[in-house]
Chains A and B, each alone.
Chain A
Amino acid sequence: MNVFAKLYYRLAKGAKAVQLYLIIAGPGIVVMVADNDAGGITTYAATGAKYGYNLIWFLLLLIPVAYYVQEMTVRLGAVTKRGHAEAIFAGFGAFWGWFSLIDLMIVDWLTLVTEFIGMTSALEIFGIPPWFTFAAVVLLLGTIVLNGRYWTWEKIALLFCALNLVYIPGAFMVHPSMHDIVRQGLMPNLPGGFDGQLFFFLMANIGTTIAPWMLFFQQSAVVDKGLLEKDIPWGKFDTWLGSVLTVVVAVFIVVVTGTVLRGVDIVSAAQASAQLQETHHWVGTFMAIGLFDAGLLGAICISLASSWAFGEIFGWAHSLNTNIKEAPWFYACYFFMLLSAGAVVLIPGAPLVLITLFVQVIAVTLLPAALVFLILLLNDKENMGEFTNTPLQNALGGTIVLVIVVLSTLYGMSVLFPGLFG
């Protein structure tokens, strides 16, 4: 075979691999980018403003953490063809099943409220009233899911994921010092020494990286998409790419606020956007657009995570490949979550700050349980066969789960008792 023939063969093989990936791509990227939801954007913006570039190294460490947890849902979904809620019911019985399902519903609903807070506050910067944002978002999300095809929904969600990259040009526009980013950000360091506040920020960043709804969402999405065992390597790659993307976006947000808003106390991403607009109009505008997009992506995924979970357990038709007549309860659940959570934001004097804090506390009651169930289910040889966790995967996954459980619990406690860590 001559050189050209070899080259042609390799290119054709590469093109086929890319084509195949594009068919399978979706759940991993969508769930990971949606993980940078409205609450996440606030956490990253506050981290940059407080510690500059100094915690970038820590964010990079979260890439494998997010990947190893989420890739387990890909294997579990592709092998068992069951969503996470159904897998818990079947694996551990009705008690743990109801506990997970009810807890998921509460966490998802509260998180959805925070997504609406993010979206309405982002568009208020452009003078758009909250009621209009609420109506437009419900209409948009309704149109996306009611098209009756998973494929269409997923590709639209991927478009919104691409919009999340708006933070990258924003970071270049503030002209950060590359030297400082490398020197301060890539060398592991604890700015100002280890104290209660730094610990709180580290825990908050971990808390935004792994959320309970992500486990339920990705596994159900893998099932709805119809991924098979042979697709697992691509599903894993999709998850890896997603976890890199989510952390890259987080790093760029930190760079923006670390460059322009260093030393400013940030309580919300909308506040950061408004303050950025004063000195860097377009950067602030990108930040606000990114915040709206983050809330929208979060809302897309979280409302679906609950609807899928309820559909699995109650035996309703629960696929995006069905229309509203075929799966009325699935869509009713979806719209109930969306409308009720959005309406809370429109109530004058609603305790929105309390709700935001409460999300973090309730999440720690579900996250450890969901993670422990995940590890145990991945060790069920009878069902998982050759895709059972290897000892190395157990060691890695187990360590990550243990660290997340301990830190997210401490984070939840520090939200309940603010003076706990000084």
Chain B
Amino acid sequence: MRSLSRLVRKFDSINVRYRTPRIGMSPAVRISLMTLRAYLLFLVALMLYKFVSLLLA
């Protein structure tokens, strides 16, 4: 139990340490990150579709 709470604290400290992105959020960076999110969502949707179609087959 103690080691679990220590682990949670560790994750929290990492999240706090890296909460603010250090890189300047210029329009190019914002567009890149937005495109990346859309791309990853597309891939996840594709994999889910494949998974469901395999289950139904």
Which of A184-192, A220-228, A409-417 binds B?
A409-417
B interface, over-half SS: helix
A90 within 8 A of B: yes
Report the minimum CB–CB distance from B40 to chain A (whole Å).
6
CB <8 Å contact, A416 and B47 = yes
Pair B40/A416 contact, Cβ less than 8 Å: no
Decide yes or no: A91 and B36 within 8 Å by CB, A416-B46, A416-B47 being known contacts. Answer: no
Instruction: Tell me the residues in window 7-26 of chain B with beta carbons closer than 8 Å to chain A beta carbons.
Output: 10, 14-15, 17-24
Q: How far is the CA of A314 from the CA of B29 in the complex (A)?
A: 26
Q: Is A92 in contact with B21, judged by CB distance below 8 angstroms?
A: yes
Among A92, A97, A416, the residue within 8 A (CB) of B23 is A92
- Chain B's nearest CB lies how many Å from the CB of A110? 14
Q: How far apart are the CA atoms of A417 and B24 in the complex, in Å?
A: 39
A89 within 8 A of B: yes
Contact of A93 with B50 in the complex, beta carbons under 8 Å:
no
Nearest B residue to A93 by beta-carbon distance? B21
CB distance from A75 to the nearest CB of B (A): 16
Listed residue (B10, B28, B40) with the most chain A CB atoms within 10 angstroms of its CB: B40
Say whether A113 faces chain B, with CB atoms less than 8 Å apart: no
A416 to B50, CA, bound (A): 7
Please state if A314 and B14 are interface contacts (CB–CB under 8 Å).
yes
Minimal Cβ-Cβ distance residue in A for B16:
A94
Q: How far is the CA of A220 from the CA of B32 in the complex (A)?
A: 24
Residue of A at shortest CB range from B32? A372
In the complex, per-residue mask of A75-98: 1 if CB is within 8 Å of any chain B CB, else 0:
000000000000001111110110
Number of contact residues on A: which range applies? 20 to 34
Counted as pairs of residues, one from A and one from B, with CB atoms less than 8 Å apart, the total is: 52
Within 8 A of A (CB), among B30-57: 32-33, 36, 39-40, 43-44, 46-47, 50
The reply on A364 being an interface residue by CB < 8 A is yes
A377 at the interface (CB under 8 A from B): yes
User: Among A90, A382, A409, which residue has its beta carbon within 8 angstroms of that of B18?
Assistant: A90
Are the CB atoms of B32 and A369 closer together than 8 Å?
no
Contacts known (A90-B18, A313-B14, A417-B50); A368 close to B39, Cβ less than 8 A: yes
Q: Is the CB of B43 within 8 A of A365?
A: yes
Shortest Cβ distance from B15 into chain A, in angstroms?
5
A106 contacts chain B at the CB level, 8 A cutoff: no
A380 within 8 A of B: yes
A377-B47 in contact (CB<8A): no
| A368/B24 in contact, CB under 8 A | no
Which residues on A sit within 8 Å (CB–CB) of B40? 99, 365, 369
Closest Cβ of chain A: how far from B36's Cβ, in Å? 6
Residue-by-residue, is A235-279 near B (CB-CB < 8 Å gives 1, otherwise 0)? 000000000000000000000000000000000000000000000
The reply to whether A89 and B29 contact each other, CB–CB distance below 8 Å, is no
How many whole Å from A371's CB to the nearest CB in chain B? 10
Contact pattern, A 141-165, Cβ under 8 Å of B = 1, otherwise 0: 0000000000000000000000000
Kindly state whether residue A361 has any CB partner on chain B within 8 Å: yes
10 contacts between A and B (CB under 8 A): A90-B18, A93-B21, A94-B14, A96-B33, A361-B47, A368-B36, A368-B39, A369-B36, A372-B32, A409-B39
Interface residues of chain B, those whose CB is within 8 Å of chain A, are 10, 14-15, 17-24, 28-29, 32-33, 36, 39-40, 43-44, 46-47, 50
Rank and list the top 5 A-B pairs by shortest CB-CB distance, nearest first: A93-B21, A91-B23, A89-B18, A94-B18, A94-B15
